[in-house]
């Protein structure tokens, strides 16, 4: 009978997603209530930042489900890049939230509106900081277990929310001294949101467009090629293509002109087998005649 239960890594991702949805929805309610009671644009912005975490976690769960689908005729390398598409959605959501509250914060400063936070807001923000950092740590751990870009993006989303709440906590202690503190905090919170947006989109778009192999991987490939052939074959044109947990690699090697097709094929196959075994990467090798 086929085992339909997800592996431990996938289970970690699903668990992280559901915990995030439940905790963030509760935090959104508390923060939004505190923002309405105090009239604070910074707390309301922070509340919607938290709600966007819930939305992004829903997207993460959907991406995990899609990514688990096996390769088919239309998707010969599997569905792993659904993870990157989900990260793009998370980044866009975060960016839209940030721009809206940046505008609202500036308007509050122009209108010279001040805020009195009070003890209720103080308690809510402290609870938020503790829970959001817990969610960030858990999502980072789950992201390492699943190799999920979307989960790592979600973790940064939680972390940026915790940091923005810390800024609001500082502002609560300073609200009696500076009338403009809420508007300024609103702007600072949006800067955290925009920074998180940039990081998420940069990573996701970079992987979709294609990424340069890091130096450590290149050294490993060169070592494998040296062990597979007694003559120097100079691996070059190394290109990496990630599809979630599945990774494809293409590279060129030089072989002597006088070498038979069978010998050349055996060398290339040995290299591909070693790369698969040692690096968990599927390699395709193009052979070129060695120049005189």
Q: Where are the domains of the chain?
A: 8-209, 215-289
Per CATH, 8-209 and 215-289 having the same topology is answered no
SS3 48: helix
pLDDT at 195 over 70: yes
Looking at residue 1, what is its pLDDT? 41
Q: Which residues pair with 255 in a beta bridge?
A: 289
The structure tokens listed for 197 are: 């947006």
| Mean pLDDT value across the chain | 80
Give the pLDDT band (50/70/90) at residue 77. Answer: low
Closest by CA to 49, choosing from 194, 150, 232, 224, is: 194
The structure tokens listed for 231 are: 């003559």
- Residue range 8-209, CATH number: 1.20.1510.10
Name the residue with tokens 């403009």: 180
Least confident of 65-79, 124-138, 216-230, 254-268: 65-79
Give the pLDDT band (50/70/90) at residue 33. Answer: very high
Q: Which carries the bigger pLDDT value, residue 243 or residue 104?
A: 104
**Which tens digit of pLDDT belongs to each residue from 229-287?**
877 888 888 888 776 667 788 899 998 888 888 888 999 999 999 999 998 888 889 98
Q: Which carries the bigger pLDDT value, residue 83 or residue 197?
A: 197
pTM above 0.85, yes or no: no
Sheet holding 246-255, edge to edge: 236-243, 246-255, 282-289
Q: Which residues pair with 88 in a beta bridge?
A: none
For the chain, percent of residues with pLDDT exceeding 90? 8
Q: How far apart are CA 39 and CA 29, in angstroms?
A: 15
Looking at residue 29, what is its pLDDT? 92
Q: How far apart are CA 41 and CA 36, in angstroms?
A: 9
- Residue range 215-289, CATH number: 3.30.70.1350
The separation between the first and the last C-alpha atoms of the chain, rounded to the nearest angstrom, is 58
Closest by CA to 234, choosing from 218, 206, 253, is: 253
Longest dimension (CA), the chain: 85
Burial of 100 (0-12, 13-18, 19+ CB in 10 A): middle
Phi, psi of 39 (to 5 degrees): 75, 20
Looking at residue 130, what is its pLDDT? 92
Looking at residue 145, what is its pLDDT? 76
Average pLDDT (143-165) is 76
Beta-carbon-side half-sphere exposure of residue 13 (alpha carbons within 13 Å): 29
pLDDT at 191 over 80: yes
């Amino acid at each position: 009978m086929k085992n339909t239960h997800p592996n431990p890594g996938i289970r970690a991702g699903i668990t992280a997603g559901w915990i995030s949805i439940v905790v963030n929805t509760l935090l959104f309610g508390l923060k939004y209530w505190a923002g309405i009671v105090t009239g604070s644009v910074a707390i309301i912005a922070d509340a919607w930042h938290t709600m966007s975490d819930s939305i992004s976690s829903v997207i993460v769960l959907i991406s995990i489900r899609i990514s688990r689908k096996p390769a088919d005729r239309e998707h010969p390398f599997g569905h792993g890049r659904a993870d990157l598409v989900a990260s793009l959605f998370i980044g866009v959501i975060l960016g839209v939230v940030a721009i809206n509250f940046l505008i609202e914060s500036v308007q509050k400063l122009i209108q010279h509106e001040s805020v009195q936070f009070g003890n209720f807001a103080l308690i809510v923000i402290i609870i938020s900081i503790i829970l959001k950092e817990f969610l960030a740590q858990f999502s980072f751990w789950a992201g390492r277990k699943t190799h999920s870009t979307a989960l790592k993006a979600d973790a940064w989303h939680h972390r940026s929310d915790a940091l923005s709440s810390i800024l609001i906590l500082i502002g609560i202690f300073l609200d009696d001294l500076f009338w403009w503190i809420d508007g300024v905090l609103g702007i600072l919170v949006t800067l955290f949101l925009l920074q998180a947006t940039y990081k998420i989109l940069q990573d996701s778009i970079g992987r979709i467009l294609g990424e340069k192999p890091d130096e450590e991987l290149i050294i490993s490939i060169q070592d494998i090629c040296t062990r597979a052939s007694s003559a120097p074959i100079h691996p070059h044109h190394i290109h990496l293509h990630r599809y979630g947990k599945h990774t494809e690699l293409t590279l060129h090697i030089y072989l002597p002109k006088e070498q038979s097709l069978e010998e050349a094929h055996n060398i290339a196959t040995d290299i591909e087998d070693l790369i698969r075994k040692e690096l968990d990467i599927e390699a395709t090798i193009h052979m070129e005649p060695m120049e005189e």
